[in-house]
Copies of this chain bind each other. A is one copy, B any other.
Amino acid sequence: MALIVQKYGGTSVGDVERVKRVARRVIQARLAGHDLVVVVSAMAGETDRLLALAAQVSDSPDERELDVILATGEQLSIGLLCLAIQQNGQKARSFTGSQVRIQTDTAHTRAKILSIEADRVRQALREGAIAIVAGFQGVTAEDEVTTLGRGGSDLTAVAMAAALKADVCEVYTDVDGVYTADPDVVPEARKLARISYDEMLELASLGAKVLQARAVEYAKNYAVPIHVRSSFNMSQGTLVVQEDAEMEKVVVSGIAYNKNEAKITVLRVADRPGIAARLFGRVAEAAIVVDMIVQNISQDGTTDISFTVPNADYQKTMQIVSEVAKEIGAQQAVGDERIAKVSIVGVGMRTHSGVAARMFEALAREKINIMMISTSEIKVSCVIDAEYAELAVRVLHDAFGLAEGATVEERW
């Protein structure tokens, strides 16, 4: 008998019929003898409905009040799921973030979890009930309602699992696991049985929309095993766990890509201390999140600085950067919205050489030009023309032998 935390997203509880289906699934696990804590999101569309209502009464809604409004979405879900489970004869009890004492800081709409009491959840489990916990929400020390930001329900689930020392945190999604690449792009993509936290983090932030990055980080810190699986079938999904020797044998675990970024380059910037700080300070002031930053050695006392930002922030960033470029006496700022970032990820890179070279070769064979390169310990990312994104993913998937049925020699 295990203690299992299950998390169901908004799509899984999108309407009454789906809530009933989740209830049946939860009961199935209960009847198998497990203790269960179930974390649910708001029904799909509900959060958007609430945000739309808020937008109709306020141009710039106060974040404290926004949290009060948004928290109702999950509160409705836990009540409904609880009723659906009880309807099938099982004991269940719902808990809001406030009732579970998911204590957060005071950063409304993007709060951080500080601690979880969970005494009432333990009590419910002792009494043989299934505990249903509202995802996405918490409460400050002053009893103010907070929310954890979009995707925060994953975080709630992992944090609950850590607090309760659960055996596993099962995250139910509309895909049945983590794949070596997007199966829509690469038909031969293979579902990974296991993946390390670090790899999952790189994949999460690189655009594989399976798990929220903060949740993976939290799981890593508390060594919570996450099982990513489908809410539509019973097949085993992907386990996200601590790295082990076996994993290091696989050099590349997956290929990710992201077409939602734009590239900006400031040409011929004076190569002296403080210039980069000034440039990126001004961008940060506008609350724009910069992803890749690349700067090469200088020639003639000047250098070029390139970086990427979300497409949505492109116009605003160009405006800021053009101003700064003038101020610091750079030649000019140029940008490109039609780019894609393609990345290979794998903990095995730490101990294997020639990985980046193989990536560049594979792209070169297809005459795909590389505009920017950035690497981390377990990742190599290249910025290329957006047009070739899907082709690049397929080529790399093949080059690193990730397909189903590829021999171990072929598989990097």
Write the residues of chain A forming the contact surface with B, with a CB cutoff of 8 angstroms. 16, 19-20, 23, 50, 53-54, 56-59, 61-62, 64-66, 68-69, 71-72, 75-76, 78-80, 82-84, 86-87, 93-94, 96, 98-99, 143-145
CB distance from A286 to the nearest CB of B (A): 23
Alpha-carbon gap, A83 to B19, bound state (A): 31
Q: Is the CB of A94 within 8 A of B80?
A: no
Point out the residues of chain B lying under 8 angstroms from A144, CB to CB: 99
Q: Would you mind naming 25 contact pairs between A and B with Cβ atoms under 8 Å apart?
A: A16-B53, A50-B76, A53-B76, A54-B80, A57-B83, A57-B84, A57-B87, A58-B83, A58-B86, A58-B87, A59-B87, A64-B93, A64-B94, A65-B79, A65-B82, A65-B83, A66-B79, A66-B83, A68-B94, A69-B76, A69-B83, A71-B75, A72-B79, A75-B75, A98-B143
Which residues from chain B contact A145 at a C-beta distance below 8 Å? 96
B69 x A57 contact (CB < 8 A):
no
Residue of B nearest to A95 (CB): B68
* Least distance between A85 CB and chain B CB atoms (Å): 9
**A65: B residues at CB distance < 8 A:** 79, 82-83, 86, 94
**A87 cross-chain contacts in B, Cβ below 8 A:** 57-59
A contact patch SS: helix
Most buried by B among A16, A61, A65, A78: A65
User: A84: which B residues are within 8 A, CB to CB?
Assistant: 57-58
Contact A83 B61 (CB under 8 A): yes
Nearest Cβ on chain B to A51's Cβ, whole angstroms:
11
Asked if residues A80 and B98 are in contact (CB atoms below 8 Å), the reply is no
Cα distance, A61 to B79, chains bound together (Å): 10
Question: What separation, in Å, do the CA atoms of A59 and B88 have in the docked complex?
Answer: 10
Q: Are B94 and A57 in contact (CB under 8 A)?
A: no
Check A79 against B54 for contact (C-beta < 8 Å): yes
Instruction: Say whether A57 contacts B20, CB under 8 Å.
Output: yes
- A69 pairs with B58, CB closer than 8 A: no
Name the residue of chain B whose CB is nearest to the CB of A82. Answer: B65
Within 8 Å CB of A58, what residues of B? Answer: 83-84, 86-87
Q: Which among A59, A66, A83 has the highest number of chain B CB atoms within 10 Å?
A: A83
Asked if A57 and B143 sit within 8 Å, CB to CB, the answer is: no
Note all chain B residues with C-beta closer than 8 A to A19. Answer: 57
Asked whether B75 lies within 8 Å of A69 as measured between CB atoms, the reply is yes
Query: Are B79 and A69 within 8 A (Cβ)?
Result: yes
Contact in complex: A80, B53 (CB < 8 Å): yes
Q: Which B residues touch A61, using CB under 8 A?
A: 83
Inter-chain CA distance A53–B15, complex, in Å, is 9
- CB within 8 Å for A62 and B82 given contacts A19-B57, A20-B57, A56-B16: yes
Contact at A62–B76, with CB atoms within 8 Å? Answer: no
> How far is the CB of A207 from the nearest CB of chain B, in Å?
33
Question: B residues within 8 A CB of A68?
Answer: 75, 78-79, 82, 94, 96
CA distance A16 to B99 in the complex (A): 30
A99 to B144, CA, bound (A): 8
A76 to B93, CA, bound (A): 23
